[in-house]
Each structure stands twice: as C-alpha cells, then as structure tokens.
C-alpha cells in the first residue's frame, strides 16, 4: 500500500472507532485516579489494547499501574505514551484522559502501517506524571531502550508542536523542635512552625533574585498539633524548577540555605531529601515537522512553534533524553484557561476536546507511517537526536 493510502486508512480507522474511543475517554474522565493509584484507568487501557491485538505486559518497571502494549516485531519501534493520572480534588484538570485515549487510538490505527511496512508500535502506560515522575522511573529501568521515536499529545490552551520545559526536582523537608505549653512554659519550647514560616519568608525574599524562568513552590504538610502546644515537628514539600540541571543544582543549594538559616535562627533541627527529578524536555524538530505537516493536512490549525521553554515540567523530559520525542500541545480551551483548574477539567470532558485529541492521534499515527515507511526520515530524526547529545 502506498503512503497516501496508508495515511487515509489510519484516519478512517480512528473515525470508525469513534464511539469506542468516546466511551473509553468518558470512563477515564469519570473515574479520576491520582498518581500511582490509577488501577481502573490502567486496566481499562491495557484491556482495550489487549482486545485489539496488542501483546500487553502489566505492572512493568515495578510500577503496578504501568504497562506496555506491543504490536508487530522488530525495529523500528514507534511508541505512543499514555498518561492517565488525575489531580487531587480537581479530577482530570490536566486532561490526561485525552492523552490516554489519543495514545491508544494512535496505537490501534498504526497497526495497519505495521502490517504493511514491518516494525512495531508500542503504547506505554506511564502512570504518576503529576507527582512521582513515572516516566523517570521507567526511563531509569530501561523501558525505552529499544524505542526509535516517542510521541504523545497534551491538551492545552494553545496549539504548538515544539517546546521545551523546565527541569524540576521534588523536595521533602522537616523541622524538629521541642514541645512545650505555649502559655505555661513557652521559654522551654523550640518552635518548628516558626522555623518553617521563616523558611517560607526567606524563600519569598530569594524569589526576587532568581531568573525569570526559575520557580520555587511549596506547601506545609504538617504545621503542628494544637495552638496550645509549641509545634515540635513540621514538614513541607517543595518543587524547585530551572531551565537546565546546572541552574537547578545552583538553585537547590540556595533553597536549602533558606532552611539552614531558619534552623539556625530558631534552634530547630532540619532534615531534607530530594525526590523525583524531571529532566528538561528536548523536542525533536524533525519529528515535530512531520507531525506538523500531518496535522495541517487534517485542516486542524496548529503552529510549529519554537523550541523555547514553557514554564512547567513533565517527566516526558526524561524520555526525551533517551529517545527522539515530541509532545505537541493541542488547544481544547481558550488560551486564558490554564491547566490544573476546574475550568480546564470541564473543557477536558467535552466532545470538542476529544475531537481535537483524536485529530492529534491521527497525526501521530500518520507520523508513524512516515517513520516506518522511510529509513531516510528515521535517519534524520536519529541524527538530530545524536547531535544534541
């Protein structure tokens, strides 16, 4: 089959499957599950792939809710990444239901390309994007070693194919003081909450003198027990972000200095541990251009955009350092509606949003056709990737 006919077949496959995909998307949206608790969502997706001829392995990389579905054999391997975790209390306010549905749709539609051209397609179930960096764990465990190109599409308030994101790292920290009666014997206490408040104030001061793209955000997870007890223990979690790992390391030191200063001032002891590290995302321009042309051919307005930094972070960054990767953004809401808001959750439930992401699924599957059919395309993608190393 020639390329034009294969692309038409890919489009027809997704159109014909619309009722099934809409049902899958609705079930995901109506059962929001937070990071690493996506048991029903990952089972729904894995079952869907299983029923449609994919060989599915569940619980890969020691992550209960991760999976890998494979169709075909041998190289090249084109991967679609599904995310399906929701946000605490806000549900699918990042639209990961749509990411999962479009990844599965692209995987199923690409089967025809594999039958005709050889190679493989994989759909990876990548849990815990919002909190624990599931892809970072999977990347470290070697899940993406044999993959030649990876794609996923994220819903947003604008449409662009190229982008970079901030590197970030999670921080857990706590202060230990000494409990005492706040009225009877306050002089005997060491106040772990005051240490925490001073830390937040020091970080507020620090924020005036960091780069415009750097971000420090935190919440207090333990603020003491009662107003008549000097708090002997407090805890907080923070996320620190910067454009690259070098800048991030420098910023991390400055953040820790804020806690050290507060500990010194109050007499409280502090300890901390750094957690998940999300790499800055690198988009593969060659891959992005192929996707862009395919998306345009569907009549869906999209801009190629630039490879500049958007001020958020994703564990797709960790994949993008191992495999040529793109994560196009497709508008499902006006630019004024930000992700992680109730308004965005409402947008992620609409038929319009699903139609947008299914067009992206078509463009991803058409891009798989471009790669499976042309060693020259693959070579160009690979060469650009290696040049950036």
The contact set with Zn ion (CB under 5 A) reads: 94
For the bound state, the minimum distance from the C-beta of residue 87 to Zn ion, rounded and expressed in Å, comes to 7
Q: What residues contact 217, with CB distance under 8 A and at least 6 apart?
A: 238, 239
Q: Is 305 left (phi over 0), alpha (psi -120 to 50) or beta?
A: left
Cβ closer to Zn ion: 66 or 369?
A: 66
Question: Least separation, in Å, of the C-beta of 236 and Zn ion?
Answer: 21
**Residue of minimal CB distance from Zn ion?**
94
Least CB distance to Zn ion at residue 135 (A): 12
Contact at 8 Å (CB) between 164 and 279? no
* Residue closer to Zn ion (CB basis): 14 or 94: 94
Q: Which of 135, 20, 11 is nearest to 84 (CA)?
A: 135
Segments in the chain forming alpha helices (H)? 3-16, 18-30, 39-51, 96-109, 111-117, 134-140, 192-207, 245-266, 285-297, 316-320, 342-348, 351-373, 375-387
Q: Determine the Cα–Cα distance for residues 13 and 239; give it in Å rounded to an integer.
A: 42
Cβ atoms of residues 71 and 55 within 8 Å: yes
Minimum distance of Zn ion from residue 93's CB (angstroms): 8
Smallest gap from Cβ 122 to Zn ion, in A, equals 21
Q: Report the nearest approach of Zn ion to the CB of residue 332 (Å).
A: 12
Q: What is the rounded CA–CA span in Å between residue 72 and residue 55? A: 9
Nearer to Zn ion, 94 or 239 (CB): 94
Nearest distance in Å: CB 277, Zn ion? 17
- Please give the Cα distance from 278 to 317 (Å, whole number): 6
Shorter beta-carbon distance to Zn ion: residue 350 or 374: 350
In the complex with Zn ion, the residue whose CB is nearer, 94 or 366, is 94
Return the number of the residue (94 or 137) whose C-beta is nearest Zn ion: 94
125 vs 177, which CB is nearer to Zn ion? 125
Judged by beta carbon, residue 117 or residue 240, the one nearer Zn ion is 240
Q: Are 170 and 275 in contact (CB under 8 A)?
A: yes
> What DSSP string describes 346-368?
HHHTSHHHHHHHHHHHHHHHHHH
Separation of alpha carbons 49 and 53, rounded Å? 7
Whole-number minimum distance, CB 82 to Zn ion, in Å? 12
For residues 380 and 367, the answer to whether their CB atoms sit within 8 Å is no
């Amino acid at each position: 089959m020639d390329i034009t006919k294969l692309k038409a077949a890919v489009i027809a496959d997704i159109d014909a499957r619309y009722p099934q995909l809409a049902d899958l998307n609705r079930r995901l949206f109506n059962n929001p599950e937070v990071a690493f608790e996506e048991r029903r969502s990952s089972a729904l997706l894995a079952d869907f792939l299983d029923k449609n001829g994919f060989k599915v392995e569940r619980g890969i990389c020691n992550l209960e809710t991760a999976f890998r579905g494979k169709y075909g054999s041998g190289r090249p391997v084109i991967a679609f990444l599904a995310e399906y975790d929701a946000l605490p209390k806000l549900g699918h306010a990042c639209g990961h239901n749509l990411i999962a549905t479009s990844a599965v749709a692209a995987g199923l539609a690409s089967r025809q390309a594999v039958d005709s051209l050889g190679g493989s397609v994989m759909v990876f179930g990548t849990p815990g994007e919002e909190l624990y960096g599931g892809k970072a764990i999977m990347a470290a465990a070697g899940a993406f070693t044999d993959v030649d190109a990876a794609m996923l599409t994220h819903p947003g308030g604008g449409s662009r194919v190229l982008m970079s994101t901030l590197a970030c790292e999670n921080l857990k920290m706590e202060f230990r003081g000494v409990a005492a009666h706040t009225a009877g014997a306050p002089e005997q206490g060491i106040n772990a909450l005051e240490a925490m408040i001073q830390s937040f104030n020091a970080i507020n001061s620090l924020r005036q003198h960091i780069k415009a793209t750097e971000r420090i955000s935190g919440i207090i997870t333990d603020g003491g027990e009662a107003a008549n007890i000097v708090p002997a223990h407090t805890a907080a979690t923070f996320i620190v972000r910067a454009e690259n790992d070098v800048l991030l390391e420098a910023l991390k030191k400055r953040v820790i200095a804020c806690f050290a200063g507060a500990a010194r001032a109050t007499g409280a002891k502090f300890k901390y541990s750094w957690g998940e590290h999300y790499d800055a995302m690198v988009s593969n321009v060659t891959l992005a251009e192929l996707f862009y042309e395919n998306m345009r051919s569907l009549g869906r307005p999209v801009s190629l955009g630039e490879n500049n930094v958007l001020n958020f972070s994703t564990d797709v960054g960790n994949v993008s350092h191992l495999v040529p990767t793109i994560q196009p953004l497709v508008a499902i809401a006006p630019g004024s509606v930000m992700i992680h808001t109730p308004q965005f959750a409402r947008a992620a439930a609409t038929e319009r949003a699903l139609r947008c992401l299914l067009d992206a699924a078509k463009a991803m599957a058409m891009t798989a056709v471009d790669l499976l059919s042309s060693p020259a395309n693959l070579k160009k993608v690979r060469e650009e990737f290696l040049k950036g190393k």
